[in-house]
Copies of this chain bind each other. A is one copy, B any other.
């Protein structure tokens, strides 16, 4: 894409009330736009990153047997009353609204009830199980405060996967598969080395749950790392430990819900012996927009964002300097496009310093500068955003490295 046609521009300042690093950098670089606290639009660059994270999550969920569907934001009161979660005193993050005839509706902050209710129409026998439906969908949570940018939103994108199993053994086996899939997701998003599988408080049906915690100063949780090699930790909510404390962001969680939701909805199956049994349920979440925010919190430096390769909006930031190199830069742009390498081409008539500062802020992994010298020697200056290292390469060796 030619940067001259991109309607967003970098900005020197984010809105004054913005305090989180992720929101400040993403706003300044033109990835997001704040509509109100905790509610952000995703501009072209931001949407490209979000779609890449979505694709990674989708691939990893499909690989462990997930079936994608999409549930609704509008929720019926009756469905939520079954497990007692309609009441605002029980769930304090509801946004509620009304139909024309004054029937009350809620905006989904999660989807356990809606999904279990739906599945009663499809599950009857042991032959219908196990199943692993998931969605990547917008959730609404009426947070009292929302000062963490896209790390804690009032309107945000979440992947929620659910397991429906016949036996604990079957569920445990899937739980292990999800653990691996989640670590793949965080690894591919560039924060694998800072993310820990963390023991945390359970719910009614299991003593413990597990969280995926990414060490970051912006975190609202505190963990103790118990095994650095195995990437294991324990949440401070389970009791204090000596050992160093780390602030961390919860990027995912997985937990067993037993029959908490399936029993009230009569989600039963007939086993091989003709007996009716309640289905065992599990829930597995990843905050997709939160994950994007966490990557920015963890990987940015004083100059701007540093995107990992798999989720960068483009692979290459091509910069023409000065005007007389434009003809050759145009050729390189075409060559990279033909080879299906995603390029943001800074073809704007600006000073070198401005272009470099913008490129640092936007954070595309590989920068290619077509400068004066290039005209003679046909060598391109190639800079790695993360390490800052620069080398000279021919176009051919560059494309070979990138494909």
Contact = CB atoms under 8 A, between A and B. Distances in A.
A86 to B, nearest CB: 15
Interface stretch (A5-13, A176-184, A215-223, A260-268): A5-13
Given A7-B122, A50-B70, A138-B138, 5 more contacts: A7-B67, A36-B74, A36-B76, A36-B105, A74-B95
A42 B70 CA distance: 5
B67 A42 contact: no
A153 to B, nearest CB: 10
A341 interface: no
List 4 A-B pairs, minimum CB-CB distance, nearest first: A7-B131, A95-B97, A97-B97, A42-B70
Interface of A: 5-9, 11, 33, 35-36, 39-44, 46-47, 50, 65, 67-76, 95-100, 105, 107, 114, 118-119, 121-123, 128, 131, 133, 138, 140, 142-144, 154-155
Given A7-B122, A119-B7, A41 B72 contact: yes
Give the copy number. Answer: 2
A226 to B, nearest CB: 37
Most buried by B among A5, A74, A119: A74
A118 B41 contact: yes
A38 to B, nearest CB: 9
Given A7-B119, A96-B97, A100-B142, A114 B42 contact: no
A41 B67 contact: no
16 contacts: A7-B119, A7-B128, A33-B118, A35-B71, A35-B72, A40-B72, A42-B69, A42-B70, A43-B69, A44-B133, A72-B155, A73-B73, A73-B138, A74-B155, A97-B97, A107-B107
A126 to B, nearest CB: 13
A35 B74 CA distance: 8
Contacts of A133: 7, 44
Contacts of A68: 44, 47
Contact of A142 (B40, B99, B107): B99
A65 to B, nearest CB: 8
A99 to B, nearest CB: 7
Contacts of A154: 74, 99
Contacts of A47: 68-70
A95 to B, nearest CB: 5
Nearest to A66: B44
Nearest to A35: B72
Most buried by B among A71, A97, A140, A144: A97
Contacts of A128: 7
Most buried by B among A7, A39, A41, A98: A7
A96 B100 CA distance: 11
A336 to B, nearest CB: 18
A6 B133 CA distance: 10
Most buried by B among A41, A42, A47, A118: A41
A305 to B, nearest CB: 18
Contacts of A105: 36, 95
Nearest to A33: B118
Contacts of A46: 69
A41 B108 CA distance: 13
A74 B140 CA distance: 9
Contact of A71 (B41, B70, B76): B41
Contacts of A138: 73, 138
